[in-house]
Structure 1
Amino acid sequence: MNRSVLTNPYVLIAPGFFLAAFIILWPLYELGTIAMSDVNRFGQIRGYAGFDNFLSVFRDPEFLGALARTGVWTLGIVFGAILIGLPVAMILNEDFYGRSVARVIVMLPWAISLTMTAIVWRWALNGESGLLNSGLRTIGVIDTNVQWLAQAATAFPMQIMIGILVTIPFTITIFLGGLSSIPDDLYEAAKLEGANGWQIFREITLPLLKPFINIAVVMNTIYVFNSFPIIWATTQGGPANSTDILVTYLYKLGFRFGRLGDASALSIMMFALLLVFTIIYVRLAMRGDDK
């Protein structure tokens, strides 16, 4: 065989590409088959249903509420993690005594199971004996216990707060990688020219971190959009479905109500939403970099 063929980059990546394509496309094909079929709760296909399952999902009054909450959930966590993670990463990038220990402490939550973290927070937010109520009563912020997870007004915001906290370590890791790639010479030259801290951040740090911010937005959006454990471990979508997002609504469709066709149709729609978002965001980011 010609040596140039063996060293061709497309030939080298072909095995991994076809394996990844099989892993992704085969489940999509199976989902598409079920989504277009009349399926009983035991998974037996009884005939062709066309787009009836998709229409059934759209007609469900719970769908639009879960869709809207998914948007709030995703935007709140992704941008909250970026707004908090960026300054923390900049602090951890500075040279100070104990920096290595501080980095380990910040990264530790990332090593803990997300489900376990959610369960611990469920205990902390317990309306009768939770740590949060005890702490707030001790410092005089509240006089009576607050049922954090038992009412819609507080349950969903608290879940978003938990989501931000567990997303920050991964986001900081991305930003630390970006900050370490910025040459120190640029900062030294800017200081010699008399630039202050804000000017250095605006003109040097932020533009050079833009590719890493784009990575954080795309990766966190995909991760958070499909995040199941926090909602399910704390409220299971309650009270009265007021904290359901698409992924918990999908679980209920498939495993509580036995509507496997509707659940498959919703899975296809969720995949399409993420794919469209990723393509649009990446194109806009690339267009901004070309200017």
Structure 2
Amino acid sequence: MQRASVPYFLILPSFLLAAAIILWPLKEIVSLSLHDVNRFGMLKDFIGLEHYRSLFANPDFIAATWRTLFWTAAVVIGTLIVSVPIALILNEDFYGRGIARILIMLPWAISLTMTAIVWRWALNGESGMLNSALRDLGIINTNIQWLAEASTAFPMQILIGILVSVPFTVTIFLGGLSSVPEDLYEAAATEGAGRWDQFRLITLPLLKPFINIAFVLNTIYVFNSFPIIWATTQGGPANSTDILVTYLYKTAFRMGRLGEAAAVSLIMFAILIIFTILYVRLAMREEKQ
């Protein structure tokens, strides 16, 4: 029994640290969401699920929730589609491959907030670089207010989200591709398999665990991503680009409704937990088959 208990004693310090960092704040947020709270964070009367009822009766919260799901799906799926061919190209042996890998991964080292601010300047409706380039190419005659209308602002934010997520995802895929034995490709080529058949029958199945990792990590990261939306439009115009994390920020620090903000954060936490559990179970079931 002493030998069997050794692993539990070894992980006990890490578990206590994780509990202090995660479980205690989670308990405090739950308490905030169940009480009436003043602007200074002081608990007042216990009101139960009133904050949750208020949120689900608020059309702005419902719209932000659906918009968050669409934002997350579009950015994550778009990132995976763009990253796979880039990783395949960078995995090939060609002159300057090292420099190309550095250039692809360099944006990863830049602050996401700074990247979003640069894009806000580039998308400026009057003096932005994008409008200037399109006018020089003869594509447009008048300036487009990219960030002033939801019909253009949100798609551009999705595009920015994809671009800033590519370096991290490509890094994961390159690690996966480096683990694929070259002998498999040589054997497949000997049997007459073309490049597409090699990708479909060898690369993609062996890369699938890394795709799963990238999918889960990017989903969590993008779902909670604050800088892109906030630095470009702050959820405007007229809250039309708000996602849950910006809605939470406005609720807590602009309107001072800390109890509702705590409820929003718990709803976001629940959505991510449910998604992660379902996706991991589905991935494990596919691997067993």
- Compute the TM-score of the two structures, normalised by the length of structure 1: 0.97
| CA offsets 1:112-139 (integer angstroms, 9 cap, x no match) | 0000000000000000000000000000
Give SS of 2:126's match.
Answer: coil
The match for 1:269 among 245, 267, 270 is 267
User: Please, which of 145, 170, 173 is the counterpart of residue 172 of structure 1?
Assistant: 170
State the match for 2:46 in structure 1.
Answer: 48
Alignment partners' CA distance in 1, 2:235 and 2:151: 13
In the alignment, what sits opposite 1:147? 145
Give, in whole Å, the separation in 1 of the partners of 2:215 and 2:10.
Answer: 30
User: Residues 119-268 of structure 1: matches in 2 within 5 Å?
Assistant: 119-268=117-266
**Aligned match of 2:17 in 19, 22, 25?**
19
Q: How many corresponding residue pairs?
A: 289
Deviations 1:126-171 (A, max 9, x none): 0000000000000011000000000110000000000000000000
Distance in 1, Cα, partners of 2:238 & 2:139:
28
For the residues of structure 2 that align with 1:200 and 1:22, how far apart are their CA atoms? 48
Mapped to 2, the partners of 1:16 and 1:241 lie a distance apart of 41
Q: Is the partner of 2:44 in helix, strand or coil?
A: strand
Give the letter aligned to residue 58 of structure 1.
F
The superposition leaves residues 149-207 of structure 1 with CA deviations (integer Å, 9 ceiling, x where unpaired) of 00110000000000000000000011001000111111111111110111111110000
Calculate the aligned-residue CA RMSD, in Å.
1.3
Contact 1:254 1:260 in 2 (8 A): yes
Q: CA deviation at 1:5?
A: 6.3
In 2, Cα distance between equivalents of 1:76 and 1:138 = 30
CA contact (8 A) 1:5 1:11 kept: no
1:118 counterpart residue number: 116
Deviation of the 1:15 alpha carbon: 1.5
Could you say which residue in structure 2 is the equivalent of 1:58?
A: 56
- List gaps (5 residues or longer) in structure 1: none
Report deviation, 1:41: 1.5
**C-alpha distance in structure 2 between counterparts of 1:61 and 1:167, whole Å:** 30
User: SS state of the match for residue 30, structure 2?
Assistant: helix
Moved over 4 A (4+): none
1:12: how far off?
2.4
Moved more, 13-22 or 105-114: 13-22
User: Which residue of the partner structure matches residue 77 of structure 2?
Assistant: 79
Quote the offset at 1:275 in angstroms: 0.2
CA displacement at 1:9 relative to structure 2:
3.4
Cα distance in 2 for partners of 1:243, 1:129 equals: 22
Distance (Å, rounded) in 2 between the aligned partners of 1:252 and 1:196 = 54
> What secondary structure, in the 3-state scheme, does the structure 2 residue paired with 1:129 have?
coil
- After superposing the two structures, state which structure 1 stretch, 14-23 or 272-281, moved more: 14-23
| Aligned match for 1:278, one of 268, 276, 279 | 276
CA shift, 1:11, in A, is 2.9
Q: Secondary structure at the match of 1:22?
A: helix
Does the CA contact (< 8 Å) of 1:85 and 1:172 recur in 2?
yes
Gaps of 5+ in 2: none
Instruction: Name the SS of the counterpart of 2:45 in structure 1.
Output: strand
Distance (Å, rounded) in 2 between the aligned partners of 1:43 and 1:87: 49
Distance 1:5 1:51 in 2: 43
Letter in 1 for 2:198: I
SS state at 2:161 partner: helix
TM (normalized to structure 2)? 0.98
Distance 1:185 1:21 in 2: 46
Alpha-carbon separation, structure 2, partners of 1:58 and 1:236? 22
Identical-residue share of aligned pairs (%) = 67
